[in-house]
Structure 1
Amino acid sequence: MTFRGLTWDHPRGRLALERAGGPVTWDVQPLEGFESAPIRETCANYDLVVLDHPHLGEALNAGCLRPLDELFAAADLDAIGARTIGPCLESYEMAGRLWALPLDAATQVMAVRGDMVQDVPRTWDAVLDMARAGGKVGLSLAGPHAFLSFLSVAQALNPGMDLRNGDVWVPTDTATQALAILGELARLTPEQVWPLNPIGILDLMSNSDALALCPLVYGYVNYADHALDKPIDFHDAPSIGDGAPGSILGGTGIAVSTRCEMTEDLRAHLLWLMREDTQTGFIPQNAGQPSARAAWQDADVNAPVGGFYAQTTRTLETASIRPRHDGFIAFQSDASALLREGFQSNCPDGRLASDLADLFSRSQKTVGRKAG
Structure 2
Amino acid sequence: MTDSFLLRGTTWDHTRGLLPKVATAQRYHELHPECQIQWQTRSLQAFADYSIAHLAAEFDLLVIDHPSMGEAAAHGLFLPLDQYLSADFLSDQAANSVGGSHASYQVNGHQWALAIDAATPVASRRADLLDAGEVPQNWAQLLELARQGKVAVPAIPIDSLMNFYMLCLAEGETPGQQAAYFCSEETGVAALEALRELVSLCDPVCLTRNPIQTYEAMTLSDAIAYCPFAYGYSNYSRRGYARRPLAFGGLVTRHGQPLRSVLGGAGLAVSASCKHPEIALAYARFVAEVSTQTGIFTANGGQPGHRQAWCDADNNIDVQQYFSATLATLDQSWIRPRYAGYIDFQDRAGHLVHAFLRGETAAPVCLQLINHLHKECFK
| TM-aligned CA deviation for residue 214 of structure 1 | 1.8
Identity percentage of aligned residues: 33
Q: Do residues 124 (structure 1) and 124 (structure 2) align?
A: no
Give the secondary structure class of the aligned counterpart of 1:185: helix
- Matched with 1:135 is 149
What does the per-residue CA deviation read over 1:221-268, in whole Å, with 9 as the maximum and x for residues that have no partner?
111113343111111122224423310000000111111245554433
Aligned mate of 2:199, from 179, 183, 186: 186
What does the per-residue CA deviation read over 1:91-149, in whole Å, with 9 as the maximum and x for residues that have no partner?
000011110000100001112122222311122222112112x2321221114111111
Q: Do residues 13 (structure 1) and 27 (structure 2) align?
A: no
Q: Which runs of 4+ in 1 moved over 6 A?
A: 164-168
What does the per-residue CA deviation read over 1:299-344, in whole Å, with 9 as the maximum and x for residues that have no partner?
2111122211111111100100111222222222222211222122
2:20 is aligned with what amino acid? Answer: A
Q: Do residues 247 (structure 1) and 261 (structure 2) align?
A: yes
- Matched with 2:53 is 40
Distance 1:162 1:195, change over 3 A: closer
Contact map agreement 1:164 1:324 (CA 8 A) in 2: no
> TM-score normalized by structure 1?
0.92
Distance 1:56 1:299, change over 3 A: same
Contact map agreement 1:71 1:262 (CA 8 A) in 2: no
| TM-aligned CA deviation for residue 35 of structure 1 | 1.3
Distance 1:298 1:252, change over 3 A: same
2:115 is aligned with what amino acid? Answer: P
Distance 1:165 1:321, change over 3 A: farther
| TM-aligned CA deviation for residue 167 of structure 1 | 7.6
The within-5 A match list for 1:222-261 is 222-227=235-240, 228-261=242-275
What does the per-residue CA deviation read over 1:165-201, in whole Å, with 9 as the maximum and x for residues that have no partner?
9786323222222112101112112022221111111
Contact map agreement 2:180 2:375 (CA 8 A) in 1: no
| TM-aligned CA deviation for residue 15 of structure 1 | 0.6
| TM-aligned CA deviation for residue 351 of structure 1 | 3.2
Aligned mate of 1:49, from 55, 62, 72: 62
The within-5 A match list for 1:261-340 is 261-262=275-276, 264-340=278-354
Q: Do residues 207 (structure 1) and 220 (structure 2) align?
A: yes
1:178 is aligned with what amino acid? Answer: A
1:256 is aligned with what amino acid? Answer: V
Aligned mate of 1:29, from 26, 42, 48: 42
Give the secondary structure class of the aligned counterpart of 2:230: strand
- Matched with 1:370 is none
Contact map agreement 2:61 2:280 (CA 8 A) in 1: no
Deviates more, 1:112-121 or 1:165-174: 165-174
Distance 1:310 1:166, change over 3 A: farther
Aligned mate of 2:117, from 88, 104, 113: 104
Contact map agreement 2:11 2:40 (CA 8 A) in 1: yes
Contact map agreement 2:156 2:207 (CA 8 A) in 1: yes
Distance 1:30 1:343, change over 3 A: closer
Distance 2:250 2:373 in 1: 30
Aligned mate of 2:106, from 89, 93, 99: 93
Aligned length: 363
Contact map agreement 1:154 1:246 (CA 8 A) in 2: no
- Matched with 1:2 is 6
Q: Do residues 155 (structure 1) and 159 (structure 2) align?
A: no
1:2 is aligned with what amino acid? Answer: L
Distance 2:113 2:136 in 1: 36
Contact map agreement 2:61 2:270 (CA 8 A) in 1: yes
Distance 1:175 1:193 in 2: 22
Contact map agreement 2:181 2:372 (CA 8 A) in 1: no
Distance 1:209 1:165, change over 3 A: farther
Contact map agreement 1:52 1:251 (CA 8 A) in 2: yes
> TM-score normalized by structure 2?
0.90
